[in-house]
Structure 1
């Protein structure tokens, strides 16, 4: 599985952060490894320098063999929390999608 981490201009993309998020994606989606070919994570701060509640955004898009991409978006007070919530949502979406594929 190829993992790509993207940040907007308001989030500094340190290599340690990229390594951490890439590792977490690979670990959390390991059971889908035979179906998922690529995962992209887009992290952003929607308010920039201003403070705002739930202004950190995480969009996770995964590409499943033979299917359209699946994407989820979460908002939280921190990038880490938005990412964590995004992982839960994408795993749920993958479970549902793959279950439907098995049923057909």
Structure 2
């Protein structure tokens, strides 16, 4: 899985920050490593670095998942680390939901309900016409 990190002009892209973000992302998607092919992290300061305030740091994560549309989540917090942790938690929940639904659809598709309907149609086709 590839991890790509982008920052705006107001966030310093130090190596320690990059390593932290990569570690948090890998922990968040660890269960789905075979399905998640790429994660992009966009880090930014919503107040342009000129002033600080509540929830002015933002982390947007976009995961590319095999067989699904991209999944994007964002979290804003007072610090960059809190925004990263919050977005990672949201990404885990979104992956749980999306891949869980996909798994359910795949399971139901080959389930007995659909097979029974197909078998019933075949039986109807073979039955003698009713007068």
TM normalised by structure 2 equals 0.77
1:5-16 aligned within 5 A? 5-16=5-16
Where is the helix percentage greater, Structure 1 or Structure 2?
2
Unmatched 5+ stretches in structure 2: 106-131
Structure 1 unaligned regions, length at least 5: none
Which segments of structure 1 move beyond 6 Å, counting only runs of 4 or more? none
Tell me the TM-score normalized by structure 1: 0.95
Show the counterpart of 1:45.
45
Tell me how large the CA RMSD over aligned residues is: 0.9
Q: Which structure has the greater CA radius of gyration?
A: 2
The answer to whether the aligner puts 1:32 opposite 2:9 as a matched pair is no
Larger RCO, structure (CA 8 Å, separation 6 or more): 1
* Cα deviation digits, residues 75-103 of structure 1 (max 9, x gap): 10000001111111000000000011011
Q: Deviations over 1:34-70 (max 9, x none)?
A: 1100011111001022122111001011010021100
Cα deviation code 1:5-49 (max 9, x no counterpart) = 110000010111101211221122111101100011111001022
Aligned to 2:128: none
Aligned residues: 104
